[in-house]
Amino acid sequence: DQQVKQNSPSLSVQEGRISILNCDYTNSMFDYFLWYKKYPAEGPTFLISISSIKDKNEDGRFTVFLNKSAKHLSLHIVPSQPGDSAVYFCAASGFAYGGATNKLIFGTGTLLAVQP
Amino acid sequence: EADIYQTPRYLVIGTGKKITLECSQTMGHDKMYWYQQDPGMELHLIHYSYGVNSTEKGDLSSESTVSRIRTEHFPLTLESARPSHTSQYLCASKGYYNEQFFGPGTRLTVL
């Protein structure tokens, strides 16, 4: 049973427009959420995170929104650039869930293609 | 920036061989992790370590074993590789904050 879901396997946007990547979770014990970017044959690169005490976190072109009541988070990339083309993974963790392990539960990823 | 290294990056090996995947980090992080990822799938935790001489199994059952003799080193070993072990293996470490930093991964193919 998947606890972190990314229901869109792929997304295509034009350069300069906004990319919105979505993620849903089912376990209310998660209290920390992260987004990673991954190129083929490379390891994931950390992008941005958000704690459950916030509903928004910004870092440059990247903004993550958290809606706890809906158990939903999204990553906004504005403006999108061709170099943003990669697979984006949503991940969740929580002390109540994993204890001191801080283990991450990942979604299946969304392949973003930014067209020039 | 994270400094975490994995070798080899790619490995093609025959069935029955013993292999060790290396992972090292230079950040002094206590917590380290091994994940396994198949194409198009999520990453699954297979092993983790709180520190030296501490190792635990993760959520996904794996026939691999790990050791943590030094803080910076967290190797993964398969005693007898099989085609079902073909996958990408990703090592990560965690510092003070909740973010885990990943190495470049090892793509293993067992023939």
The answer to whether position A93 is within a domain reads yes
pLDDT in tens, chain A (116 residues): 789 999 999 999 999 999 999 999 999 989 999 999 999 888 999 999 999 999 999 999 999 999 999 999 999 999 999 999 999 999 999 876 666 677 889 999 999 999 99
pLDDT tens-place string over residues A40-53: 888 999 999 999 99
Q: Say how many domains are in chain A.
A: 1
The answer to whether position A116 is within a domain reads no
The answer to whether position A23 is within a domain reads yes
Average pLDDT over residues B96-107: 90
B5 and A CB contact within 8 Å: no
Lowest-confidence segment of A44-53, B30-39, B94-103 by average pLDDT:
B94-103
The answer to whether position A79 is within a domain reads yes
Tell me the CATH number at A65.
2.60.40.10
Q: Locate the chain B residue with the closest alpha carbon to A108.
A: B42
The answer to whether position A80 is within a domain reads yes
**Domain hosting residue A19, numbered range:** 4-111
DSSP count for chain A of H helices, then E strands: 1, 11
Nearest to A110 by CA among A37, A50, A14: A37
- For B4-110, CATH number? 2.60.40.10
- Smallest Cβ–Cβ distance between A43 and the set B44, B50, B105 belongs to B105
Flag whether pLDDT at B80 surpasses 70.
yes
The answer to whether position A12 is within a domain reads yes
Q: Locate the chain B residue with the closest alpha carbon to A104.
A: B45
Residue with tokens 């958290």: A66
**Residue numbers in A near B59 (CB within 8 A):** 103
Q: Where are the domains of chain B?
A: 4-110
Residue A49 Cα to chain centre, angstroms: 8
pLDDT at B95 (0 to 100): 79
